[in-house]
Amino acid sequence: MDCDCLLRVVDMAKIFGDGCPYCLELTDDEHNICPRCGSIVGCAEISFEIMPNEILGIVGESGSGKSTILKTLYFDLEPTKGAAYLNCYEGDIFKANSQDKRWLRNFKIGMVYQNPEPGLVMDITAGGNIAEKLLAAGWRDVGKIRERASGLLKRMEIPVVRMDEITRNFSGGMQQRVQIAKALANNPEILLLDELTTGLDVSVQARILDLIKEIQRELNIAILLVTHDLGVIRLMAERTIVMRNGRIVEYGLTDQILEDPQHEYTQLLVNSEV
Amino acid sequence: MKLEIKGLSKEFFLHQWVRKIEGFRDVSFAVDKGECFGIFGQSGSGKSSLIRCIYRTYIPTKGEIWYESREGKVNLATLPEYDVLKLRKEEIGYVSQFLRVVPRVSAVDVVAEPLIKRGLPVEEARAAASSLLERFLIPENLFDSYPSTFSGGELQRVNLARALITKFNLLLLDEPTASLDEGMKQIVTEMLREEKDRGATIICISHDASFLNALADRVGVMKGGRMVEILEEVP
Mean pLDDT confidence for B116-131? 92
What is the complex's ipTM, to 2 decimals? Answer: 0.91
Q: How far apart are CA A101 and CA A132, in angstroms?
A: 17
Which positions 50-69 of A are in contact with B (Cβ < 8 Å)? 51
Where residue A222 falls among pLDDT bands split at 50, 70, 90?
A: very high
pLDDT tens-place string over residues B67-120: 999 999 999 999 999 999 999 999 999 998 777 767 788 999 999 988 988 889
pTM above 0.95, yes or no: no
Backbone angles phi, psi at B173, to 5 degrees: -115, 125
DSSP assignment string, B52-92: HHHHTSS--SEEEEEEEETTEEEETTT--HHHHHHHHHHTE
Kindly give, in sequence order, each residue whose CB lies less than 8 Å from that of residue A189, ignoring residues fewer than 6 positions away.
A6, A52, A86, A88, A108, A109, A221, A222
* Alpha-carbon distance B84 to nearest alpha carbon in chain A (angstroms): 9
State the pLDDT at residue A218.
85
Is A210 an interface residue toward B (CB < 8 Å)? yes
Kindly give, in sequence order, each residue whose CB lies less than 8 Å from that of residue B127, ignoring residues fewer than 6 positions away.
none
Is B14 an interface residue toward A (CB < 8 Å)? yes
- Tell me the three state secondary structure of residue A11: strand
Instruction: Using CA coordinates, name the residue in chain A closest to B56.
Output: A256
* Alpha-carbon distance A11 to nearest alpha carbon in chain B (angstroms): 20
State the pLDDT at residue A1.
44
- Tell me the three state secondary structure of residue A61: coil
Mean pLDDT confidence for B179-199? 94
Q: Please state which of the ranges A60-64, B7-11, B221-225 shows the lowest mean pLDDT.
A: A60-64
* Chain A neighbors of B50, CB-CB under 8 A: none
**pLDDT greater than 70 at residue B38:** yes
pLDDT tens-place string over residues A11-59: 999 999 999 999 999 999 999 999 999 999 999 999 999 999 899 999 9
Contact B81 A255 (CB under 8 A): no
**pLDDT greater than 60 at residue A110:** yes
Contact A80, A33 (CB under 8 A): no
State the pLDDT at residue A3.
66
